Structure 1
Amino acid sequence: MDSMIFDPTLKLSAVRTENGKGGIYRTTIGPAFYQSWNLFPPGTSFVSTLNFGNNSLALARGLAEASYRLQRDKILYYELGNEPTNYPASRWQRSTQAYVNQWLSFTSAIDTAVNGSSRGKWWASSATTDVTGLKVRPADLIPAGVNSTGQVGQYSIHSYAFATCDPARERIATIPNILNHTDLLRYADVEIYPSAKAAMDSGAEWVIGEFNSIACSGKPNVSDTFAQALWTADVELIYAVRNATSVHLHQGATLVFQSNQQLNTPGDDGTPGFSSYSLLYPINSTKRGEARVLPVFVSQLLVAEALSGGGRIASLKTPQGLRERSFSAYGIYDAGGKLTRAVALNMKPYYAGQEAQRGSVVLGLGAHGGAVVKRMTAPSVDEKDSAKVTWAGQSFRNGAAAGKLVVEELLGSEGEVVLKDSEAVLVSFK
C-alpha cells in the first residue's frame, strides 16, 4: 500500500520495482489491477488502500480516484496508509496530533476528489501493537479528534502477538506458545481491547484490519502446521466475543523489507517464498514446493459454520479439572437466548512420534433432544500434510473436499463428546 503508484497508461496489472537483492520498493499499478477485482466471487467487497508512506497527496488521491472510477460499487471502505507505527520517526516527530492533522487533511481532499463517496467510509489507524514513539492506535486517535469531521467508518488495528523478525522473538514463536489460550486472551485484552472499547464507546465499529499468528511471514514448522488451524480458530472467536465486526487474515508472499534479521526469505532463485502462515501456496515454488492448501484452511470452515446465521457469541467457562491455557470454548445463542451451537478447542499439543498416548477430555453437553458434531482434527499438532488434516472427515489439499463427510450424532441425556488433544469440535444442537 505504501509503495503503490497508479499509472493510467500501464497495460499490466502491476510492475514491481526491485533492489539488487529482490526487495520490492515500489509497485506501479494500472487499470488492470482494479479490473482484476472482477475475478472474485459476486458480492465481494474491497477496501481501497492508498499510499500514505510517500507523503504525497497526489499519489494517494490518484489511487483513490482510479479505484473509484473503475470499481466504485465494490468499495466498502478506504484506507490511508499501512501501519504508521513503522513510519520514520521524523515524519510527525512522534506527535499523535500531527498525524491526525495530516490524516484529516488527506482524507478531506480525497473525499472531494471522489465526489464524497469516501465520507464516513474510512478505516482509521491501521496501527500495529508494537511499542513505538508514535501513539496512533484507535485509543490514541479518537481523543485526538480523528473523527471530528465524521469521516471514520471503522477503526482498524493490526494483531500479531508473535514474530520472527529477530532472533529473540523467533525463539519464543513456538507451537506451545501460540496455543497458550491464557496468553492469547491476555494479548487481546491488553493490546487490542482498549482500542476496541474506545471505538465502541464512540459509537463506531472496530475491525482487525490485519492479523496472523507470527509476524514477518510466519515460521516454518509452526505456522504451516495444524497448530495454526487451532490458533486461527481460537483467535477469530476471541475477537468475535469482543465484538469485532470483521477480522482480516493476512496472506501473501514473504516481505523482505520487514527486517534484515527475519527467518523467512524468498526462494533462492528469486521466486516468492510465500508466508508460511497463509491459507495456501498458490503456485509451485522452490521455497515452498508444489501449490497446495495448508492445514490452517480447515479453521475457516469451522469458524464460518459456527458463526453462520448470526446470533450472540460468548466465551464458556473452562470445565473443572481442565487448564485455561489449553482449553477454550464458545457458545453461540439465537435472539431468544437459546444455545444453538458450541465450539470447543483442546489446545494441548500432541506431537508426531510422542510416546505417551494421546490424551483426551470428555465433555458432557447435556444435549437433550440430540446434537450433531463436526470435528477438526489431524494425526498430530505438528502435521504439515493437509491431506491428513480433516474437517468433518474431509480433507482439502487441493481446495476441494476429498473423502466422506462425517457428522457425529450425540444422543442420550448426557450428550458426551470426546475431544482429543490438539483437536476441535463444532456442536450444533437440534
Structure 2
Amino acid sequence: MARKQQHNNHICLILLLGLAAASAGLAQQQQAPAFTTVTMLDIDSPGKTIPQSFMGFSHEWPYVEELYTIPQYMDIIKLLQSFGSGPLVLRVGGGSTDKLTTVPGPEVWGPLSKLHAATGMKYILGLNLFLNDVALARKQMDAAKAGLPASSIISFEIGNEPDYYFNKPSTHWNGTKLVAGWNGTTDYLSCCFHTEWYAMAEALSCRNGPSSCEYGQFTGPVWGHLNLRNTTMDWFLKTNGKTNGKWVEMTSVHWYKATSETFNTPVTLLDEVPIRKEMTNLKEIVRVSEQVYGKPLRVAEMNTISNSGRDGVSNVFAAALWTLDASLEVAAAGGVGVNFHQGAGQNLYAAIIRWYDNGRLALPQLRPPFFGMLLFQMAVRGGSRLMGTQVTHASDANNSKFLKVWALQDVQTGELRWVIINKDASRAASAVLWVNRPSGYASEASVIRMTAAGPNPLSATSGITVAGVSYGLGGAKSGERRIEAAKVSKNAKGGQMLTVQVPAGSAALVRLPLAKEQAALRTPAAGSG
C-alpha cells in the first residue's frame, strides 16, 4: 500500500509540475521583446547535411545493460528516435575503458543485442589501452564480436583520452610510447598472425586465414576536450599503421564546455566567445580528417562540464539550451555525430538519471539536457541540411551574443526550419526570419517552444516543456501538446518574412512547409511535435 501511495504521489507531482510549467510558459511569452534581430535565410546556399544517426549517448561500462533491462530506458530511446533521424549511436566507454581488466560477458552482450534488435541502436565499444595489454584488448574485442550482431558494431575505440596518460601517477607512457602503443595494439588486434597467445580457433577475427588483416575497425585518437590541433590529427593519421590511418574507420575527439567546475554559471555556460574559438578549431580538425584522409569525425563524448558536471549549471535549463546549440555547432563544423556522456547514469550532467528509491532501482529521471536532445531531434527529423544565414539587422551590437538562429531545410520535403535560442537570462527577443526569395512556401508557420518555469528560467530544474509537454519519471508525459501559428508575409526586398517572439532563456523551433504541405504540418506526429 505504501508503494502504491508513493507512485500516486509521483503522478500528482508530475501533473502539478505540468500545470506550473504551462502557466509559467504563458507568462514568459507575454513578456515584451527588448531587442530585435533580422536573420536572412539564403535559399540558394545550402550547407552541410546532418547525417542520419547523428545523435547518441556515451555511457560508461558499468550498468550499460540497464538501457535494455529497465524498460523505461528503451521507451525514452524510442521517443528520441521517433522523428525519423535514424537509430541512436551508443558509445560504451569513458574512464571505465582503461579500468576494464576483465572481459564483459553475456550479462552485457545479451541486453545490448536485444536493445539493437528493438531500436536499431549501434555501438562504439571501448578497449583498454592504458595497461598496454594487447591480449586483454584482443579478448575484449573478440567477446564483443561473438556476443553482438556484426551489424550493431560501428567500431572499437582504443583507450580513453590517451593525451592525459602522461599526467597519471606512475605512468609508463610518453609521446613515443603512445604512438607505438596505439599502432602496436591496432596491429595486433587487426592481423591474425599475432594470435599466438591463445588457440587460433578462438580468434574470431581470423576467419579469413592465418595471415589476414582487417582494416578500418577502430576509432581514435579519442583525445580529450578538443586538446587537438589540425597538425596533431594529421600526425595521428599519418603515423597510424604508417599508411594513412589504415586501421582507423573514424576519428574522434571529446568536447566539454569547461574542464574546471569552479567558475561556471548558467550564464557563462552559454557564452558564445569560447564556443566560436572551439568550433574554429573543430572545423580544422574535421577538414584534415575528412578531406585529407577520408575519415569521418565524431565527437564521441561531450557534455557541459567535465568530471561529472557542476551542480546548478549542468543540471539546469541552461544545459538544455547548451545541448541543443552544441549539437548544431558540431554539425555545422562537419562532425558526423555527437555522444552526450551519461557517466554511469548518475552524473550531474546526465540526460537520464539512474537512481534508487528506498533501496530499489527506480524509474529513470529525465534531466534538462534530455529536452535539448529532444528538440534537436524534432528539428532534424528525417534529414536536414544546414542553410546559410546572415544577420541583416540588430537593434544593438550585443544581440548576436544572446539570440542565435540556426536555419535548416528538410532534404526530402523542402520544408524550412529555424532553431532560435535566446540565451539572455532576462530579456525577451523578437526574431524576424526572412527567406530571401519566394519559393512557394505556406502562408503560416508553426512554432514549437522549449521553455522552463520560474522567474529565472536558465536556472530552472523543473517545469521544462517542449511543445507544451513535459516528461517526468520514466518518460511519463504531462501537459497538452501546444503548437503556435506564425503568419508569413511578403518582404519588401523579396521573399517571405515572419516574426517570432522568443522569451528570455528559451528556444523555439519554427517550421515553414511548402504551401501544398501546410495542412500536414498541423497534424500531430510521432513524439510531441
Which TM-score bucket, shorter chain as reference? Answer: 0.7 to 0.9
Larger Rg over CA atoms: 2
| Corresponding residue SS for 1:410 | strand
Partner of residue 416, structure 2: 340
Q: How far off its partner does 1:174 sit?
A: 1.6
Partner of residue 363, structure 1: 432
Partner of residue 108, structure 2: 33
Partner of residue 381, structure 1: 458
The worse-fitting range, judged by mean Cα deviation, of 336-345 and 395-404 is 336-345
| Corresponding residue SS for 1:196 | helix
Corresponding letter in the other structure for 2:321? L
Matched, 1:127 2:223: yes
When the two structures are superposed, what TM-score results if normalisation uses the length of structure 1?
Answer: 0.78
Corresponding letter in the other structure for 2:323? T
When the two structures are superposed, what TM-score results if normalisation uses the length of structure 2?
Answer: 0.64
Contact 1:4-1:27 at 8 Å conserved across structures? no
In structure 1, how many angstroms separate the alpha carbons of the residues matched to 2:464 and 2:316? 10
The counterpart of 1:222, out of the listed 313, 320, 329, is 313
The counterpart of 2:508, out of the listed 410, 425, 430, is 425
| Corresponding residue SS for 2:460 | coil
Partner of residue 243, structure 1: 334
Return closer, same or farther for 1:137/1:72 CA change in 2, 3 Å cut-off.
Answer: farther
Q: How far off its partner does 1:251 sit?
A: 0.4
| Corresponding residue SS for 1:415 | strand
Return closer, same or farther for 1:139/1:185 CA change in 2, 3 Å cut-off.
Answer: farther
Matched, 1:326 2:402: yes
In structure 1, how many angstroms separate the alpha carbons of the residues matched to 2:370 and 2:442? 32
The CA RMSD over aligned residues, in Å, is 3.2
Q: How far off its partner does 1:81 sit?
A: 0.6
Q: Deviations over 1:302-343 (max 9, x none)?
A: 111111222321463345235222122111124599562111
Q: How does 1:20-419 map to 2 (within 5 A)?
A: 28=102, 29-40=104-115, 41-73=118-150, 74-88=152-166, 91-95=172-176, 98-111=177-190, 112=192, 113=203, 114-115=205-206, 119-129=215-225, 138-145=233-240, 148=243, 150-163=246-259, 169-190=260-281, 192-201=282-291, 202-253=293-344, 274-284=346-356, 291-314=364-387, 316-318=389-391, 319-321=393-395, 323-335=399-411, 340-350=416-426, 358-365=427-434, 369-379=443-453, 380-385=457-462, 388-398=463-473, 399-413=475-489, 414-419=497-502
In structure 2, how many angstroms separate the alpha carbons of the residues matched to 1:25 and 1:120? 25
Corresponding letter in the other structure for 1:110? L
In structure 1, how many angstroms separate the alpha carbons of the residues matched to 2:226 and 2:432? 38
Q: How many residues align?
A: 374
Gaps of 5+ in 2: 1-57, 63-97, 193-202, 436-440, 490-496, 514-529
In structure 2, how many angstroms separate the alpha carbons of the residues matched to 1:37 and 1:161? 30
Q: How far off its partner does 1:250 sit?
A: 0.4
Return closer, same or farther for 1:418/1:284 CA change in 2, 3 Å cut-off.
Answer: same
Return closer, same or farther for 1:310/1:196 CA change in 2, 3 Å cut-off.
Answer: same
Q: How far off its partner does 1:80 sit?
A: 1.1
| Corresponding residue SS for 2:238 | coil
Contact 2:315-2:348 at 8 Å conserved across structures? yes
In structure 2, how many angstroms separate the alpha carbons of the residues matched to 1:368 and 1:101? 59
In structure 2, how many angstroms separate the alpha carbons of the residues matched to 1:210 and 1:283? 22
In structure 2, how many angstroms separate the alpha carbons of the residues matched to 1:182 and 1:316? 19
Larger relative helix fraction: 2
Percent of paired sites with the same residue: 24
In structure 2, how many angstroms separate the alpha carbons of the residues matched to 1:208 and 1:130? 9
- The one of the two structures with greater contact order (alpha-carbon pairs below 8 A, sep at least 6) is 2
In structure 2, how many angstroms separate the alpha carbons of the residues matched to 1:26 and 1:109? 19
Contact 1:120-1:153 at 8 Å conserved across structures? yes
Q: How far off its partner does 1:102 sit?
A: 2.6
Contact 2:261-2:309 at 8 Å conserved across structures? no
Corresponding letter in the other structure for 1:332? L
| Corresponding residue SS for 2:478 | coil
